[in-house]
Amino acid sequence: MAEQSTRKREAAARRLGAALGTALRDALAGAAVAEPADAVAAFVRARCVREPGGSERAAALLAAYLEWATGTGAPRLSATALARGLHALGLRSHKSSIVLWRGVRLAPMAVHAVDPR
């Protein structure tokens, strides 16, 4: 019984540590944001993984950016402004039936998920 309780406390401590680490990283990334391009660069550093074979839907990137901006105080950008910032970072979009951004993907949710409990 005590072992199960200890495991639950350790798991909760890990979740809290991960959430606090993410919140601190996001706050620091958003703290120095003055221009939209700076905001996009900070978002990509905080919430994305740049990889040559990666790709991410434009809608998913915009939703993640807006969530990140709300949490950090960074400016809320339109889809067009986000696209300009991504282009400025050397990323390219590709249209098929949806718009994909090549060379970037969102980091796994476990890295920055917050336990609602």
Q: Which pLDDT tens digit goes with each residue over 26-65?
A: 555 544 445 778 999 999 999 999 998 899 999 999 999 9
**Cα-based torsion angle of the residue sequence 113, 47, 70, 109 in order, rounded to the nearest 10 degrees:** -20
Q: What is the pLDDT of residue 37?
A: 85
Q: What is the pLDDT of residue 23?
A: 55
Q: Where are the domains of the chain?
A: 2-112
Local confidence band at 114 (pLDDT 50, 70, 90 cut-offs): very low
- Higher pLDDT, residue 12 or 82: 82
87: amino acid identity, one letter: H
The CATH class of the 2-112 domain is mainly alpha
DSSP at 115: -
Tokens of 44: 């990509």
- Higher pLDDT, residue 29 or 66: 66
